[in-house]
Structure 1
Amino acid sequence: MTQKVSAVIVTYNRLELLKEVIQSLQQQEFSVNHIIVVDNASDIDTKNYLLSLGNSINYVRLEENLGGAGGFNKGIRYFMENTDDDFVWVMDDDTVVHHDTLQNLLDFAKKEPNFGFLASDVRWIDGHRAKMNQPAPMNRLKVIPEDQVEPIQLQNATFVSLLVRRKVVAEIGLPITDFFIWGDDIEYTERAGRFAPGYFVPAAKVTHKMGANVGSSLLNDGPERTPRYFYSYRNKGYYIRKRDWYRRNRARVRTLAEYYQIKFSKTDRKQEKLAIMKKGMKAGKSFDPIIEFAGKK
């Protein structure tokens, strides 16, 4: 029986990259049944281009920017309520998939059908692992090497080429819109992983065309990005409460270590960074967002 797949892309004002992503999806060895593009209220040029594609995509235009979290919520909801496809394949608008990415994900799905999520091997444009998307094995003392061949179970993963079964979405619900940005994918894949194991599939490679191959860091990020870290620490306060005792307290220790690293560093705008971090950590203690569920097709 042929498996059917919906791809979900969330975009915001990155038209040239978006065009490349859509083209890469249209050139898959295993054809995608639906390409669902969620537009977070981008400028008119993005809107006009997506409208010009007609029925080759399913265009979901939002009237306001709900962030990546809200975009993926709307995209996966559309998959559940408007298609009967078996899997949803989610990605950012700078994720260029390789011609065999989906085929390799589905090949593993045939061997291991009981999975919560499948994550691709995400590379930067130079071919090295993307630092923003390092796979998180169950043993966090272990680093998955770049030449890894065999699939391995993960604790969580990012929304940069992630395959989820319809049954899992029906059971666990949708990504949390109120996260806005940061941590929505970590929370969602950990939620899925509590239903069934999640796996890293190294054969299923994609290219993440970020401007630079760097991880996120409040210590080193520029002033325009500093306010966003409120969401990072607030959201983390919520999802680590769902973890077991060891992983929950390990995460809290790491967060405190980040705080003191900034406090005793010579970083610019130190007080601003510490204030954002404290504000997020405080908000995270009482942050208790609603998990929504999609209706049926």
Structure 2
Amino acid sequence: MSFVAVVVSYNRIELLKKCLHALEHQTRALDEIIVVDNGSTDGSPDYVRQMHPLITLFQTSKNLGGAGGFSWGLEIAMAHEHDAAWIMDDDAEPELDAFEPLAACFDSMVEKPAFLASLVTAGRDTFNDLNQPTISQSTEKQLVANKLDGIAIDAATFVGVLINLRIAERTHLPLSDFFIWVDDMEYTQRLSHKGLALTIPSSRVNHPNTRPASLDMGSRLFYYVRNNLWFVRERSSSVSKDLLDTVGVALHCVKQFSVSKNKVLWLTSTTRGWWQGLFKRPRHQLPGSLLSSLTPAQRAAIGC
């Protein structure tokens, strides 16, 4: 098995340093590390080139959000013919033994999983409740997961998720139009329909448990509304669940109105979110489509 780590980075060089140090010192070595830089202006690309010359660096030239960055990272990982990609943002800091149990589980399974997820912590042994996976309600899946010392899940955030690239090749990439939020849950839920998905609690990845200073989402309310509506429309679920989640988005908008400092911004963000969420759709990009947009020289620079 060949394993690669994919890190999406944007203007957080000090956090990136910690992340890369942890990845390069795993007790089970990774075969490659790919950094997708989303147009950083803090010197991150130069740092990677100078201090980590063996890392594959791809620069998007502009901020594509986490969704766009992970699409590129998985695209490159597939082109490099790895079996699985361990993906995370630059603010993730895996424990030094975090990858070993994931790789061991992946190796041991005759029928390879759709993905394996690390347990997200907010400091050693402290559960991060902002990055909770969606637990599977299937008793059959939980019995299988128990034998593998895991927990069956339906979806997870992109904080230490080991994606089976052979399965990922059979569907479209993460939906880059989401930009931020919900893209990870949509993508991993899509993958979990194609194979077993597990959280492996012995694999720990630290991630800041930073709650916003203000409850006011401001302009980001647009992404929350649009992306959650897109998620409802993209997935295969019951009408009752779709209706319940849509009502939940509406109630969240009402709550946001009460804490919003700028009511005009609330109105424009809410209106745009509902309009695009209901009447537009995110693009579906198949593996290979992103690389085809690069010149031969650009592809050669990243080994594709």
TM bin (shorter chain) = 0.7 to 0.9
Q: Is the 8 A contact 1:174 1:294 kept in 2?
A: yes
Q: Give TM-score, length-normalised by structure 2.
A: 0.83
1:11-30 equivalences in 2 (<5 Å): 11-30=9-28
List per-residue Cα deviations over 1:233-272 (Å, max 9, x = no partner).
1111112122311432231132222233345x45544563
List per-residue Cα deviations over 1:59-112 (Å, max 9, x = no partner).
10111111111111111111111x121101100101111122111112222247
1:226 aligns with 2:225: no
Q: Distance in 2 between matches of 1:25 and 1:7?
A: 8
Q: What is the CA distance between 1:203 and its match in structure 2?
A: 1.1
1:69 aligns with one of 67, 70, 95 = 67
1:248 aligns with 2:258: no
1:169 aligns with 2:185: no
Q: Distance in 1 between matches of 2:103 and 2:90?
A: 22
Name the amino acid aligned to 2:248.
R
Unaligned runs of 5+ in 2: 138-145, 292-303
Q: Is the 8 A contact 1:262 1:274 kept in 2?
A: no
Name the amino acid aligned to 1:234.
R
List per-residue Cα deviations over 1:179-228 (Å, max 9, x = no partner).
11111111111111121232221111110135x2x3x79xx435xx5212
List per-residue Cα deviations over 1:25-73 (Å, max 9, x = no partner).
0111111111000001111521211111354200101111111111111
Q: How many residues are paired up?
A: 279
Q: Is the 8 A contact 2:133 2:156 kept in 1?
A: yes
Q: What is the CA distance between 1:168 and its match in structure 2?
A: 1.2
SS at match of 1:35: strand
Between 48-57 and 152-161, the greater mean CA deviation after superposition: 48-57
Q: Let me know the Cα RMSD of the aligned residues.
A: 2.5
Question: Aligned residue for 2:298?
Answer: none
1:1-297 equivalences in 2 (<5 Å): 3-43=1-41, 45-53=43-51, 55-81=53-79, 83-109=80-106, 110-111=108-109, 113-125=111-123, 127-139=125-137, 150-209=149-208, 212=210, 214=211, 220-222=214-216, 226-241=218-233, 242-245=235-238, 246-263=240-257, 265=258, 268-270=261-263, 272-295=265-288
Q: Give TM-score, length-normalised by structure 1.
A: 0.85
Name the amino acid aligned to 1:74.
W
Name the amino acid aligned to 2:231.
Y
Q: What is the CA distance between 1:24 and its match in structure 2?
A: 0.3
Query: What is the aligned-residue identity percentage?
Result: 30
Unaligned runs of 5+ in 1: 140-147
